[in-house]
């Protein structure tokens, strides 16, 4: 049962101290700022400035120091703001403008929305964070989430469908993410790997994590989390345990995170509205066009078995299809897909 009373959300929100925010605002231009100048602007001692720098580094923010010139964030930072994100929403989603929350730091945007639903009752909600301390990936993996260098977005959505009927939701959200990238001019060599990986030249650019919560027989809340690498700093990149890439590598230039966040949100909302009415069927063709494993050699690993064969796309439920040597088609609801292309 969900509580209907509005209570404080019982989850750690890691608020940045105002001094830290102010300092970040100054350094976000990517230029050098001397300790003395920062001290003057923020009315703080040099040692207080040094302590703030140390704290910023704990958020995974790359800050360089030069004895003569001071501190600098190489490449600068574009912080997310609601107004710039909302500017990219179609008119039909005007109602969602005031549902957007942007946090500095959360353990995980998915966990935050789950807690929000439990505490305040159900509402469609949208949450971005600049940083996650315990970002969640599929199959219990971590999602490395450095400050202001990627998109971490979660949406809470209510469906009047059973979990079985929602088995294609993650795939639809992955297609929506690719469509958003295309709208931003990023299209070449982008593909999808079942069930939730957005790839560029076989390297992971983003991922989707869908979590379902039931309430009544046919009412389900979905929390849809999307992570998209924009400009991962070297230090954070070293912690990622699979081949990865980011938008800066693809475009060879800096990219507006607010634009990407707004276009992505708009596309996810559009696809959710469609999926709610039509289910997975109208999306299957699009999936097959983007499917990195279609007609390729694949190995499927489940807790019970490992099967090799040829990727044969997805069925109407969004299950992965594999054709074995005997031309028999096997369907998998949940598994690890390893591609050998
Ligand atoms: C995966 O590819 O394994 C899924 C990654 C999903 C990451 C996003 S980031 C925003 C949201 N919050 C989380 O904790 N995870 C998702």
Mean pLDDT of 208-231: 87
| pLDDT at position 6 | 45
| pLDDT at position 233 | 84
Mean pLDDT of 287-314: 92
2 compared with 123, residue with greater pLDDT = 123
Cα–Cα distance list, 4 to 120, 122, 191 (Å): 6, 8, 42
Beta-bridge mates of residue 154: 127, 225
pTM score > 0.75 for this model? Answer: yes
Mean pLDDT of 309-322: 95
11 compared with 271, residue with greater pLDDT = 271
Mutate to test the pocket of ligand 1, among 137, 145, 155, 211 (most ligand atoms within 8 A of CB): 137
| pLDDT at position 7 | 46
Instruction: Pick the range with the lowest mean pLDDT from 1-10, 15-24, 210-219, 239-248.
Output: 1-10
pLDDT level of residue 124 (50, 70, 90 thresholds): confident
Q: How many CA atoms lie within 13 A of 57 on its CB side?
A: 12
Question: Burial letters for 2-35: b for 16+ Cβ neighbours within 10 Å, e otherwise?
Answer: eeeeeeeeebeeeebeebbebbbeebeeeebbeb
The tokens for 263 are 């276009």
Domains of the chain: 18-72 (1.10.10.10), 78-288 (3.30.930.10), 293-339 (2.30.30.100)
Does residue 10 surpass a pLDDT of 80?
A: no
C-beta of 150 in contact with ligand 1 (< 6 A): no
302 compared with 295, residue with greater pLDDT = 295
Q: How many CB atoms lie within 10 A of CB 192?
A: 24
Quick one: what percent of the chain has pLDDT higher than 90? 71
What is the whole-number distance in angstroms between the Cα of residue 321 and the centre of ligand 1? Answer: 24
Beta-bridge mates of residue 125: 156
| pLDDT at position 18 | 85
The tokens for 148 are 């202001």
C-beta of 137 in contact with ligand 1 (< 6 A): yes
pLDDT tens-place string over residues 203-212: 999 999 999 8
Going across the sheet that includes 329-332, the strands are 329-332, 320-323, 306-314, 297-301, 336-339
What is the whole-number distance in angstroms between the Cα of residue 50 and the centre of ligand 1? Answer: 33
**C-alpha span between 19 and 22 (Å, rounded):** 5
**C-alpha span between 94 and 207 (Å, rounded):** 27
What is the whole-number distance in angstroms between the Cα of residue 154 and the centre of ligand 1? Answer: 8
C-beta of 146 in contact with ligand 1 (< 6 A): no
C-beta of 110 in contact with ligand 1 (< 6 A): yes
Which atom of ligand 1 is found nearest the CA of 139? 3
**C-alpha span between 56 and 58 (Å, rounded):** 5
| pLDDT at position 272 | 96
Which atom of ligand 1 is found nearest the CA of 132? 14
pLDDT tens-place string over residues 151-193: 999 999 988 877 778 889 999 999 999 999 999 999 999 999 9
| pLDDT at position 30 | 93
Residue 224 DSSP SS3: strand
Which atom of ligand 1 is found nearest the CA of 108? 14
Q: How many CB atoms lie within 10 A of CB 71?
A: 23
What rounded mean pLDDT belongs to the chain? 90
C-beta of 229 in contact with ligand 1 (< 6 A): no
pLDDT tens-place string over residues 233-284: 888 899 999 999 999 999 988 889 999 999 999 999 999 999 999 999 999 9
Which atom of ligand 1 is found nearest the CA of 150? 9
Instruction: Pick the range with the lowest mean pLDDT from 6-15, 52-61, 125-134, 196-205.
Output: 6-15
Helix-, strand-, coil-residue percentages of the chain, each rounded to 5: 35, 30, 35
Q: Are 79 and 68 in contact (CB under 8 A)?
A: no
């Amino acid at each position: 049962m969900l509580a209907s009373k509005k209570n404080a959300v019982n989850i750690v929100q890691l608020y940045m101290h105002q001094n830290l925010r102010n300092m970040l605002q100054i350094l976000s231009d990517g230029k050098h700022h001397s300790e003395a100048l920062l001290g003057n602007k923020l009315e703080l001692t040099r040692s207080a400035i040094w302590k703030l720098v140390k704290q910023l580094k704990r958020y995974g923010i790359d800050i360089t120091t030069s004895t003569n010139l001071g501190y600098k964030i190489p490449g600068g930072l574009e912080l997310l703001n609601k107004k710039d994100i909302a500017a990219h929403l179609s008119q039909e989603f005007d109602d969602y403008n005031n549902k957007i929350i942007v946090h500095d730091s959360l353990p995980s945007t998915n966990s935050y929305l789950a807690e929000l639903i439990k505490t305040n009752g159900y509402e469609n909600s949208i949450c971005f964070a600049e940083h996650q301390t315990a970002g969640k990936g599929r199959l219990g993996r971590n999602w490395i989430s450095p400050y202001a260098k990627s998109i971490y977005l979660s949406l809470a959505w209510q469906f009047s469908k059973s979990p079985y009927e929602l088995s294609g939701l993650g795939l639809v959200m992955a297609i929506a993410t690719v469509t958003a990238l295309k709208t931003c001019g990023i299209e070449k060599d982008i593909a999808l790997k079942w069930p939730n990986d957005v790839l560029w030249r076989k390297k992971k650019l983003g991922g989707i994590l869908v979590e379902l919560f039931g309430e009544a027989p046919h009412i389900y809340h979905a929390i849809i989390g999307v992570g998209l690498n924009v400009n991962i700093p070297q230090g954070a990149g070293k912690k990622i345990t699979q081949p990865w890439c980011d938008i800066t590598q693809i475009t060879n230039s800096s990219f507006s995170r607010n634009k990407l966040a707004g276009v992505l949100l708009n596309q996810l909302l559009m696809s959710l509205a469609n999926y709610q009415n039509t289910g997975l069927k109208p999306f299957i063709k699009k999936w097959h066009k983007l499917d990195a494993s279609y007609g390729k050699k694949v190995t499927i690993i489940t807790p019970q078995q490992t099967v090799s064969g040829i990727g044969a796309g997805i069925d109407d439920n969004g299950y992965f299809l594999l054709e074995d040597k005997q031309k028999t088609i096997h369907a998998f609801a949940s598994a690890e897909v390893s591609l050998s292309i």
